[in-house]
Chains A and B, each alone.
Chain A
Amino acid sequence: MDNDEKDRLERLAAELRKYIIIMNCYAGSGHPGGALSAADIVTYLFHKEINFSPENYQDANRDRFILSKGHSCMVLYAALAQRGFFSTEEFKKLRRIDGMLQGHPDRLKTPGVEFNSGSLGQGFSFALGVALGGKRAGLNFRVYVMLGDGELNEGQVWEGFMFGTHYQLDNLVAIIDYNKFQSDDLNSNVTALEPLHSKLASFGWHVIGINGHDFREIEYAFDRVRKTKGKPSVIVANTVKGKGISFMENNPKWHGSLAPLGEERVRALQECGCENIGGPGELRSR
């Protein structure tokens, strides 16, 4: 990746983070921490990796992106708006009645959303089913599914890891947004995941660990997994929860379900490069 490309992706990721904060402020709630940690990987996927656009999103041959950690949907909505699936005006109605953007993704309401994820573990299994179906139909699309690290607490996920190996789903790549925090606290204080790498490898998956905020490492990971045959791959992306907003970084408080208010709102908007999102009347207070 040359420097120009890296700059372009970084600009797009910055815009994605701005969108996340804007819609978070409009909604007055949401899960900003895990949306921000995933922003660089999602940017890479939507602008470089996957064959998915408003023109082809209903074609059988499109690549699929499934956000299994559905609570982080603001990053998905931001990416879909960025790619032109719908207007950024929709952000104003996030999590509100009669809005297109639900508190967790809904495929029947939002164009570009593949699955009604949010109940943890289910998006991953769904993705495995899509990958198996694709293979059986002789289609060449690839399935990208993003899980949260806390999501790995769910037993269904490990049923899925066994299933993926059994059916040799090399058309699927799982990405674990390893930001080390879950709803209550650090993973290590809730349910220890380590040694994660060897755990995943022992299930028969091709495992690759990267810095999930470094576009060159992200590119390297996706290039490698595309060449892996006969088994599914999992990218363990080391990330920072709340990445990009200083007071949200590595602070479990910003898992959700909340939005910055008052001083914090002003700071968050400044830090993401947005001075004003309209009159105060447009912002819902808690």
Chain B
Amino acid sequence: MREAFGRALVELGRIRTDFVVLDADVAGGTGTHFFRQEFPDRFIQCGIAEQNMMSVAAGLSTLGLIPIVTCYAVFASLRSIEQARNSIAYPKFNVKIAASHLGLDVGPDGPTHQAIEDLAVFRSIPNFTIVSPADPVELKKALPAVIDLDGPVYLRTGRSPVPTIFDEGLRFELGRGSIIREGRDVTIIAIGVMVHRAIEAAERLHREGISCRVINMSTIKPLDREIIADSASRTGCLVTAEDHTILGGLGGAVAEVLAETVPVRMERVGIRDLFAESGDPQDLARKYHLLPDDIVLAVRKVLRGKQ
């Protein structure tokens, strides 16, 4: 995903000159080194100083430039979140925060670098639009839309390679969940790296005769309430899947909508209120129950409770 992000930035940089990229000494990690190489004049190195970087970006935005702030998600969402809130969101500046290294994908670096709270944090701040694409194609399609939106955006770019789900014909629409697979028994709403796992789980369940509707909820805020309520009434139960703590992220957001619209039983797949550990991302996903198997189990459980 980071390579896709870096390449997409370069491609976009060739056709539009209205944005600059800010980096906190992690260009190799976030994929922005491609952009630095091609557009050194539009690349602003801020050093390991994320708090200053957020507020500098706010200042730059007043000159009509669109700053894209890049760093690891854990630092964007926690270390410099107060700067993102007070320097960017509150004054409504046109700044995009593009963060990599999500969830347990960071792997061996361990819990200090695993961003498992970023959705909960950004979701609670007014004026932020939050986008979490599921694959390189969607990321590439989302980027221009994110830059075109006049206002603060938090964009999750990811780190690990993820399988390509969409073809180049994908039409990305901000604020809309998209149905990847139709089904009648249960709805699985997933984001980011969990989308391809949800698809795999749905295929497995299909072979058992369970029909799953799968939704990619790449915009977490504003949340597509209609598709959630509609799915709840069609399938009668629901599972969410996120590479994030189950507290306050996608699962929490969906639960809020269900409670206010069509209350149905739901299960949340995600990190269960704990700090993980170092390890290979795939092994971590297994240990902390983020794999297709875990989605399958959640579906079976929610179906048992379906009225």
Contacts and interface: CB of A to CB of B under 8 A. Distances in A.
Interface of A: 60, 106-108, 114-116, 118-119, 121-134, 136-137, 139, 155-156, 159-160, 162-163, 166
Nearest to A156: B51
Contact of A162 (B49, B62, B83, B92): B49
Contacts of A119: 82-83, 86-87
B58 interface: yes
Given A121-B55, A163-B46, 6 more contacts: A106-B91, A116-B87, A121-B51, A130-B62, A136-B20, A156-B49
B91 A107 contact: yes
A29 B72 CA distance: 41
Contacts of B59: 115, 125-133
A151 B237 CA distance: 52
Interface string B49-66: 101101111111111110
A136 B82 CA distance: 27
A224 B61 CA distance: 29
B90 interface: yes
A126 B82 contact: no
B108 interface: no
A129 B47 contact: no
A127 B55 CA distance: 8
Contact of B47 (A115, A127, A139, A166): A166
A130 to B, nearest CB: 4
Contact of A159 (B51, B63, B67, B91): B51
A133 B62 contact: yes
B60 A132 contact: yes
Nearest to A145: B59
Nearest to B49: A159
B51 A125 contact: yes
Contacts of B92: 108
B60 A160 contact: no
A125 B63 contact: no
A121 B64 CA distance: 23
A130 B54 CA distance: 12
B26 interface: no
A258 to B, nearest CB: 24
B83 A156 contact: yes
Contacts of B179: none
Contact of A155 (B51, B57, B58): B51
Contacts of B91: 106-108, 115-116
A129 B49 contact: no
Contacts of A125: 51-52, 54-56, 58-59, 83, 87
A156 B52 contact: yes
The winner among B20, B52, B62 for most chain A CB atoms within 10 A is B52
B63 A128 contact: no
The winner among A106, A132, A166 for most chain B CB atoms within 10 A is A132
A133 B52 contact: no
B125 interface: no
Contact of A122 (B46, B63, B83): B83
Nearest to A104: B86
Nearest to A154: B51
B44 interface: yes
Contact of B56 (A107, A115, A116, A126): A126
Contacts of A108: 91-92
B86 A130 contact: no
A63 B91 CA distance: 19
27 contacts: A106-B90, A108-B91, A114-B62, A115-B59, A115-B87, A122-B55, A122-B87, A125-B51, A125-B55, A126-B59, A128-B52, A129-B57, A130-B59, A130-B60, A131-B59, A132-B44, A132-B56, A133-B62, A137-B63, A156-B49, A156-B52, A156-B83, A159-B49, A160-B52, A163-B47, A163-B49, A163-B52
Contacts of B67: 129
Contacts of B62: 114, 129-130, 133
A116 B56 CA distance: 13
B56 A129 contact: yes
A116 B86 contact: yes
A163 B90 CA distance: 24
Contacts of B61: 129, 133
Interface string B257-273: 00000000000000000
B90 A129 contact: no
Given A116-B91, A128-B56, A163-B46, A133 B65 contact: yes
A155 B46 CA distance: 15
A133 B18 CA distance: 12
A160 B53 CA distance: 9
A137 B55 CA distance: 18
Nearest to A127: B59
A137 B65 CA distance: 9
A140 to B, nearest CB: 13
A126 B55 CA distance: 5
B67 to A, nearest CB: 8
Nearest to B20: A136
The winner among A115, A118, A123, A124 for most chain B CB atoms within 10 A is A115
A130 B67 CA distance: 12
Contact of A129 (B51, B58, B82): B58
